[in-house]
A and B are shown apart, each in its own frame.
Chain A
Amino acid sequence: MKRKIKNFFKKSANLLYDFRIKKLTPFWKKFSHFLTHNFVLNKQETHLVFFRILKIKITNRRRESLTGYLFILLWLAGFLVFTAYPLVYSFYLTFQKAFFNIQTGINTTSVGFTNYKNVLSDANLLPLFANYLGKVILAVPIIIVFAIIIAVLINQPIKGRGVFRTIFFLPVVISTGPVLGELILQDATSLPSLSESGTVLSIMNKIPGFIAEPVSLLFDSLLMTLWYAGIPILIFLAGLQKINKEIYEAASVDGASPWDTFWKITLPSIKPLISVNVIYVVVSMSLYVEAGGILDLARGHMISGTPDNLFWKGYGYAATIAWIYFLMMVLIMLIFIGLLSIRKRRRY
């Protein structure tokens, strides 16, 4: 029985092999010969001939370029279809009143800057934009400082480094939108002692609303905000481990305290990584979709918009919201990167 099964497999393997050698390979050879020797493209010893007229010499350089393009072809096609064209078209839609109809497709009428004006005077959206701006600007420094502290602590010569690394990277793996939403909803993300203490409440009542709102938003989800530090911690840690240990030894021989070495050696050497992390944190914070948040509203406008609907205003409006959001995001990044580079200039 066993032998029978074995023989069966052997036979079928042999059959497949024969098929490949006798049928497939000659076919492929013919096919590839046809691909390079036809009317459109004719391959000669050192030249490619297109349409019997256009002669191109095959050089190593050209061959390399062609192979390079073949490798990135998938991405290039995808970029043109799913990123470049949609980007241009959605920018065009910001100047249009656009609605989708299953029968007729997209209907657009040009309205100039009306969409921008409407978005920037929308009573629902304005506070959301302000909160987003305040929250991200407040949260980024906190996250970066927290990540640096944790990375430096883990980088000390202690046991159980791996365990702590595992703990601090965990949120990256489990932060699912709905789970985060549920945790924020159930108040699991604020420090309990902080939100209940009287002093904090009285301070919050005294400062003006436009500052207090983002601050309280931040503290309500402080732990969730710290969860964004997962990847920055690892990036800083990798940067710290690249610093030459001898520099620290030399510094300690010269009598530098750990405090000094942190400011004079550690921080300058991980400085380039700060900008990388700022970009990462801003992007990942901005991509989190809150229920009833800006992005959620943009989706609502797009999906539910009809010409005679007063509240949901269609594709053009949604595109405008998304573009303004994106520009704000870029602005925040530029502000932080600008700040980082200014400090650098002053120091040296």
Chain B
Amino acid sequence: MFKKLKGFFNKNKIRHFFLGMHFNDGFLYKAVIYLLLIAFSYIYLYPLFFMIVNSLKNIDDLIDPGVNWVPKTLYFDNYKRAFTVLALPKAFFTSSWYVIKVSVLTTFTSALVGYGFARFRFPLKKLFFILMLVTFILPPQVTMVSVILIFRKLGMMSSEATILLPAFLGQGFNSAIYILIFYQFFRTIPRVLDESAQLDGAGPFRVFRSISLPLARPAIIIVFLFSFVWTWNETFVTGLYAGGQITLPLKLQAFAESYATIFPPGTPGAELNEAIKLAGNVLTVLPLLVIYFIFQKWFTESIDRTGITGE
């Protein structure tokens, strides 16, 4: 018994347990890595925790410096107010419907253009491809002065068309990334499949629709999801061209004003405090969080699947 124990606490064994055979497979090494990762995760998610916790505080808890992470009472009244100010759930549906329209158009065009760049040789292809990539670093603010004039001339100002048309023409927000994703993806699909369909008499568009597009399902899902999220989050261009408050974040931007009209100042308990604003923020990102947790695999594996890193 004693011998066994002694054997268990053998110096070497303990050392191996803590430090491992190669140092990087020991307990100590792993503990440090977990510790670091958890610490960084905490720092990383701190604003999110802050937002959620503080949105549940009532006024007393907000002022009380002793209440930090755990509110004394869970105060859901903030959410009720934010709900009415943001005009949920109607605003949610109009906002998502608009974003879905933009995303579908973006995905369609990106697939088409990505396929064109990946499959065919044509003069000036390199130049166009580089120009396409360069549009990524071009801020929309540089072109806004003239784009706004174009929209005014076309009479499309302050309508959804101002966002839908550029999205359909592959010039929407971050379009270059989506085209690049499809480009990389279509290059990984072997040409042999296309050629066999061509021998059966299919034209290039038929090949694209019946062979390549079904194979590109992962790319389609990834582009659609990213387009959804980024269109939802985009406020500058959307607010400027389409105007109004067609998305939830735009409604959030005008939160204070809408609040003042719905709960006029002077009525009891009508002051807008931080907690109510944060509740509005939580409600705005909530749909995104839900989407993220349903499709998280698609988001986090997007870069592996599309092979942006290599080649």
Which residues of chain A are within 8 angstroms of B87 by Cβ–Cβ distance? none
Distance between Cα atoms of A333 and B134 in the complex (Å): 13
Q: Which of A66, A168, A325, A333 has the most CB of B within 10 A?
A: A168
Chain A residues with Cβ below 8 Å from B143 are: 82-83, 86-87, 90
> How many whole Å from B182's CB to the nearest CB in chain A?
11
Contacts of B169 in A (CB 8 A): 74-75, 77-79, 81-82
Residue pair A326, B45 in contact (C-beta under 8 Å): no
Is residue A174 contacting chain B, with contact meaning CB distance below 8 A? Answer: yes
Instruction: Kindly list chain B residues whose C-beta atoms are within 8 Å of the C-beta of A69.
Output: 116, 122
Given contacts A67-B120, A81-B150, A224-B47, contact A299 B300 (CB under 8 A): no
Main secondary structure, interface of A, reads helix
In the complex formed, the residue of B with least CB distance to A180 is: B47
Which of the listed residues A87, A178, A242 has the most CB atoms from chain B within 10 Å of its own CB? Answer: A178
Q: A79-B131, A153-B33, A174-B288 are in contact. Are A166 and B141 (CB under 8 A)?
A: no
B159 within 8 A of partner (CB):
no
- Contact (A158, B44) CB under 8 Å given A87-B138, A173-B292, A302-B144: no
Q: Which B residues, 189 to 220, have Cβ-Cβ distances below 8 Å to chain A?
A: 204, 208
- Verify B138–A83 contact, CB threshold 8 A: yes
Q: Which of under 10, 10 to 19, 20 to 34, or 35 or more describes the interface residues of A?
A: 35 or more
A133 lies within 8 A of chain B by Cβ = no
Judge whether B246 is part of the interface by a CB distance below 8 angstroms.
Answer: no
Chain B residues with a Cβ closer than 8 Å to the other chain, count:
92
- Tell whether, in the assembled complex, residue A286 and residue B139 are in contact, meaning their CB atoms are under 8 Å apart: yes
Contact with A93, one of B47, B146, B253, B310 (Cβ below 8 angstroms): B146
Whole-angstrom CA separation of A194 from B240 in the bound complex:
37
**Residue pair B138, A326 in contact (C-beta under 8 Å):** yes
Contact check, A75 vs B109: say whether CB atoms are below 8 A apart.
yes
- Shortest distance from the beta carbon of B73 to any chain A beta carbon, whole Å: 21
Instruction: Find out whether the CB atom of A283 lies under 8 angstroms from the CB atom of B137.
Output: yes
Q: Which of the listed residues B36, B309, B310 has the most CB atoms from chain A within 10 Å of its own CB? A: B309
List A236-286 residues whose CB lies under 8 Å from chain B: 237-239, 241-242, 252, 257-258, 273, 276, 279, 283, 286
Residues of B within 8 A of A329 (CB): 137, 139
Decide if A78 touches B170 in the complex (CB within 8 Å): yes
Tell which of A119-127, A181-189, A196-204, A212-220 binds the partner. A181-189
Q: Does A319 contact B (CB under 8 A)?
A: yes
- Min CB distance A110 to B, Å, is 16
- Residues in B with CB closer than 8 Å to A149 are 40
Cα(A165)–Cα(B113), bound, Å = 31
**A75-B132, A302-B148 given as contacts; is B252 within 8 A of A178 (CB)?**
yes
Determine, out of B5-13, B261-269, B273-281, the stretch whose residues face the partner at the interface: B273-281
Chain A residue nearest to B143 (CB atoms) is A86
The answer to whether A170 touches B284, judged by C-beta atoms less than 8 angstroms apart, is: no
Interface residues, chain B, CB within 8 Å of chain A? 22-25, 30, 33-34, 36-37, 40-41, 43-48, 50-51, 54, 109, 112-113, 115-117, 119-123, 125, 128, 131-132, 135-150, 152-153, 166, 168-171, 179, 204, 208, 229, 232-236, 240, 249-250, 252-253, 255, 274, 277-278, 281, 284-285, 288-289, 291-292, 296, 299-300, 302-304, 308-310
Task: Give me the 5 closest cross-chain CB pairs, A-B, nearest first.
Answer: A78-B169, A71-B116, A68-B120, A68-B122, A75-B170
* Pairs across A and B, CB under 8 Å, 24 listed: A65-B123, A68-B116, A75-B132, A78-B166, A82-B147, A82-B166, A83-B138, A85-B146, A86-B146, A90-B145, A153-B33, A156-B33, A162-B300, A167-B41, A176-B284, A176-B285, A177-B249, A235-B303, A238-B309, A286-B139, A295-B236, A302-B144, A318-B144, A325-B141
